[in-house]
Chains A and B, each alone.
Chain A
Amino acid sequence: MSGHENTPEDDVQRDDPMIAAEWALGLLEGEELLAARGKYAADPQFAWRKEWWDGWFAPLTDAMPGAEPGEHVWDGIAARIAAQRPGGAADAPAAPAANVVELQARVRRWQWAAGLSSMAAAVALAWLALAPSPVVVAPALPVAAAAPLVATVPIGETGLRLDVTYIPESERMVVGAVGLKHDGVHDHELWLVPKDGSALQSLGVVAPGEVRSMTLPAAVTAKLGDGAALVLTREPIGGKPEGQEAGPVVAKGAFTRV
């Protein structure tokens, strides 16, 4: 999000502890912010330093006057917790339900790691719970935590964007379209542009205003990597019709490993 900078800023080394400090202060945005979140999840040293700054800055909050929230706030919390309690909503067969619960736990972890809002998590969970096809969960292999890939796809000059996070360990991708609105006439479809020049792979229609989590087929994950590009096309409702050309590209982005 930073424009060109004429003033040299290299007089202070911008190492990880410095990025942790900037993040703790809340200065980061855009890709820098996503990168910091990813590093937090993957690098204990960085996480420690971020929390070190958080701890030191915390006393400053004492200067912020307290305020009484509305009573509905607690009701909302209690209701959300009751709804998310395992076993609180299960008329699905036992085995798939267990899978969904396992997935929910994973997604929750990722949401947490990625620092997305729990409202987003709730949306992703609701979507998972309603997914018509049985959700296949990869066996929980002891995989070394691979660094997530992140991409920001800015939408024109609107200041809005898609936040795309791919977590290699889980083969899941989280697409956040918070702030985007449905125009009622179009859908937008997200495509992976493989680096090897092979055909574009559809990553599905974007759900405006939501954060969705999806499992990617192996054919797609094989093409995913640092530098893989994403494009967003405008399509009729429902996405690109079979046998027709894809619509115009309205936004682009690329994955970076964090």
Chain B
Amino acid sequence: MADQAPKPSAAPDRSYKRSWKNLLINKRYQLRFTLFMVGIAMLLMTGLGYRVMTKAIEATTVSKTHVLGEVCPTISLLTEDVPPPVVPMKLDEPAPDPAAPAKAADAPKPDAKPDAKADAKPDDKPDDKDPPRHVKVQLDESSLTLTPTVPVWTPPLATTFVDEIAAHWKCQISQEHQLYMLDLGRLRILLVLIGSGLLLVFGLAIYGIKMTHKVAGPLFKVGLYFTKMQHGKLDKVYNLRKGDQLVDFYEHFKTAHAGVVQLEKDDIVRLKAVIAAAEAAGQGEHAAVSELRDMLARKEKALE
């Protein structure tokens, strides 16, 4: 029994602290303001975020086109024409003296009309860029065999070949990397937008509820005093918590409460005086005085 005896009561601690459990006091007011704030932020983030992504996709497409437009160096061995295999050709008939037709061809005919080929100057050489006009052949006189003259193909030096391959693939890999980085950059923008949007929404929701709680808190406290006053209880009014808003409003309430208390006190003073005078005049047992006494007791209790 002794263990269950209440401890000596200390002075009542009136400093209530904010707790997460009772942050939503006035749901209608708090949620309305918080949701408005969150809604605006979400609307802006979604609308502008969509536009950012549209522009980011455009920019990425343009940049990809730019990257793909840069031609990588080619590997000459793989891209140049491979020389055809040498196929000797044997003539069916013995050719006349090669010098005679050559001379006949060189000598212009007297009655021949000048044509385009004849107009050509003898020193005209085919342009380097033009393809060769005639196939060059070698004649083996002993066997009368024509063999096409093949340009001597020298294999590229090993170092040049390796360098070309390295340069080609370095460029290819660099392009692939650039394309990957461009896609990654776009993806990063999307993720940053989504992340910051979610963070903003949650952060704003918490901040909004905390901010409105600083208004709803004093209103809740005043509401409690209203209930007490409604039931005829006019006890002491305590101060607001630190950081609460509506400080001026609360001060107004305190003066109102003090005003009502003063009305009751005035009544008490008057009633006490009348009761005392009535008792002195021998009217103490009068029913009206008893009623006044009851009223006095009630008013005094209200101020406790």
- A and B interact: no
Interface residues of B (CB under 8 A from A): none
Interface residues of A (CB under 8 A from B): none
